[in-house]
Amino acid sequence: MAEILHKVIEESRQGEAYESFVGDPNIFNKKFYIESYGCQMNFSDSEIVASILHGEGFGATRNFEEADLVLLNTCSIREKAEQTVRNRLQAFRKVKDNKPGMLVGVLGCMAERLKSKFLEEEKLVDIVVGPDAYRSLPGLINEAETGQKMVNVLLSREETYADISPVRLDSNGVTAFVSIMRGCNNMCTFCVVPFTRGRERSRDADSIISECRDLFTRGFREVTLLGQNVDSYHYSDNGAEPVNFAQLLERVALISPLLRIRFSTSHPKDITDDVLFTMAKYENICKYIHLPVQSGNTRILQLMNRTYTREWYINKVNRIREIIPEIGLSTDVIAGFCSETEDEHKDTLSVMEHSCYDMAYMFSYSERPGTLAERRYKDDVPEDVKKRRLEEIIELQRRKSVESYKNDVGKTFTVLIEGDSKRSGEHWCGRNSQNKMVVFPKGELKLNKGDYTEVKITSSTGATLLGEIV
Ligand code: SAM
Ligand code: SF4
């Protein structure tokens, strides 16, 4: 159970700080520390921020007490995420009290909503910067060094940071995230993202291809194309042929058959047959889709403004399995959305039963200020009921994960080696195409991180496959 919960909330990456890199030829005269919370987009943004700061002579450190600049890249998705950030800011303030030159900044999704609270009322920070304003960081830092409080939370309709090459500070050197779009136009009623990250915009396709090609040349073997809704990717430039997501996927796939491609997240309403056929056509496009369902009940889906019904979602899952039978599927689920009845909750369980996800991120509904749900509906499912429904969802998923992983015993998969397994230096770990983690003994073969190998699965848990090289 612990293993599955660990995956559900991705506790291991929350609050992760970047390490200074070994052998970096640049000499940095100042140090920055950055901690990231929330979704993969935020982690990816921190790499853009790191790149901008490098240009200003800042090197990264993992110890905030020695930093000249301490940054928190924040998440607003749930109330709990905000509370964690607040606690961290209080810890930084204690250090800052004895180190007056140190600057503390808040980046990301909490910036707009809490800027005046953090800066003026609670006096916790010196700089507040929203997700579309990272280019202004150097100027804001200069001003803040003179003792001023600096804010830039302007959202943009154009900014994609297309020309900034992210610094892969915390990387295994094999897998990397590449942002292909920013913002979201979907207006799911529970979600703050459209307000904190602004309108959807797609990044220049050529800049995505050259970033992926560059990563491949540097030895990376897997890229994950990132966006809140990747299937609505659409880039057109001054009369040139527009590029949609299926075409982008194909262009990345053609860089090299040795470069694996993943993507996240897919909105069920936007994933097309075109995308599915492109996935089926190229061996190196991983057979894995993260397809958030949120609820299995049509009335609740309507209240959430997800724009699909229960039946439509089920048909989409069936279609995906028809075109790509070996697909790995995962999802996001929210328990206890406004006015959800017991029967409607059961509809969520039955969709999960039908879909057979390998993994799920499971949340209880947390009302977020400014969202459409906060304005329109009452958050009226009692906390204990939400908690119990979430537990039922987690328990069902635990059973489904165990089943799905057990079904793989006896199969052979191509695994991309990501590094030593956590449990021992004698074992490799890596993923199969379906995104399942595979652990296996290194044996006599002289393989390296970034190599592909065939592994036959001999046993499983609910979150890992164990096997041996064949
Ligand atoms: N764009 C993606 C999508 O539509 O699936 C993911 C966006 S969000 C960063 C990740 C997940 O957080 C959502 O899919 C949803 O399950 C969950 N989430 C968002 N707002 C929430 C809220 N107010 N309460 C609970 N969970 C929430
Ligand atoms: Fe939020 Fe919905 Fe956009 Fe995902 S698709 S980021 S849940 S508004």
Ligand closest to Cα of 183 equals: 2
With contact defined as beta carbons under 8 Å apart, do 398 and 462 qualify?
yes
Buried b (16+ CB within 10 A) or exposed e, 196-224: bbbebbbbebebbbebbeebbeeebbbbb
The per-residue pLDDT for range 265-311, each reduced to its tens digit, is 999 999 999 999 999 999 999 999 999 999 999 999 999 999 999 99
Ligand closest to Cα of 186 equals: 2
Q: Which of 181, 191, 192, 197 to mutate to test ligand 2, by most ligand atoms within 8 A of the CB atom?
A: 191
Please give the distance, rounded to the nearest whole angstrom, from the Cα atom of residue 469 to the centre of ligand 1. 38
Q: Which of 74, 193, 304, 363 to mutate to test ligand 1, by most ligand atoms within 8 A of the CB atom?
A: 363
Q: Which of 267, 295, 303, 307 to mutate to test ligand 2, by most ligand atoms within 8 A of the CB atom?
A: 267
Please give the distance, rounded to the nearest whole angstrom, from the Cα atom of residue 247 to the centre of ligand 1. 27
Ligand closest to Cα of 373 equals: 1
With contact defined as beta carbons under 8 Å apart, do 291 and 329 qualify?
yes
With contact defined as beta carbons under 8 Å apart, do 384 and 354 qualify?
no
pLDDT of residue 8: 33
With contact defined as beta carbons under 8 Å apart, do 234 and 248 qualify?
no
Distance, in Å, from the CA atom of 50 to the CA atom of 130, rounded to the nearest integer, reads 15
Q: Which residues line ligand 2 (CB under 6 A)?
A: 184, 186-188, 191, 193-194, 228-229, 267
Distance, in Å, from the CA atom of 138 to the CA atom of 97, rounded to the nearest integer, reads 23
Distance, in Å, from the CA atom of 200 to the CA atom of 207, rounded to the nearest integer, reads 18
The list of the chain residues with pLDDT below 50 reads 1-11, 21-23
Nearest alpha carbon to residue 436 among 468, 460, 452 = 460
pLDDT of residue 25: 53
Taking the mean position of all CA atoms in its chain, how far away is CA 232? 17
Please give the distance, rounded to the nearest whole angstrom, from the Cα atom of residue 187 to the centre of ligand 2. 6
Please give the distance, rounded to the nearest whole angstrom, from the Cα atom of residue 398 to the centre of ligand 1. 20
Strand 69-74, strand 58-60: pairing:
unpaired
Q: Which of 189, 263, 332 to mutate to test ligand 1, by most ligand atoms within 8 A of the CB atom?
A: 332
For 351-398, the DSSP string reads HHHHH--SEEEEEE----TTSHHHHHS---S-HHHHHHHHHHHHHHHH
For 286-319, the DSSP string reads -SEEE---B-S-HHHHHHTT----HHHHHHHHHH
pLDDT of residue 23: 46
What single-letter DSSP state applies at residue 445?
Answer: S
Distance, in Å, from the CA atom of 214 to the CA atom of 229, rounded to the nearest integer, reads 24
Residue type present at position 23:
G
Ligand closest to Cα of 76 equals: 1
Please give the distance, rounded to the nearest whole angstrom, from the Cα atom of residue 460 to the centre of ligand 1. 29
Q: What is the dihedral of CA 394, 185, 287, 167, to 10 degrees?
A: -100
pLDDT of residue 304: 98
Distance, in Å, from the CA atom of 402 to the CA atom of 131, rounded to the nearest integer, reads 38
pLDDT of residue 6: 30
Only one residue has tokens 């606690």, namely 87
pLDDT of residue 245: 98
Q: Which residues line ligand 1 (CB under 6 A)?
A: 39, 77-78, 190-191, 193, 228-229, 265, 267, 292, 294, 332, 334, 363, 365-366, 368
pTM score, whole prediction: 0.93
Residue 129: partners with Cβ closer than 8 Å, 6 or more residues away: 105, 106, 107, 111, 136, 137, 140, 151, 152, 153
Closest CA to ligand 2's atom 1: 191
In ligand 1, which atom is closest to the CA atom of 39? 9
pLDDT of residue 85: 86
Please give the distance, rounded to the nearest whole angstrom, from the Cα atom of residue 191 to the centre of ligand 1. 6
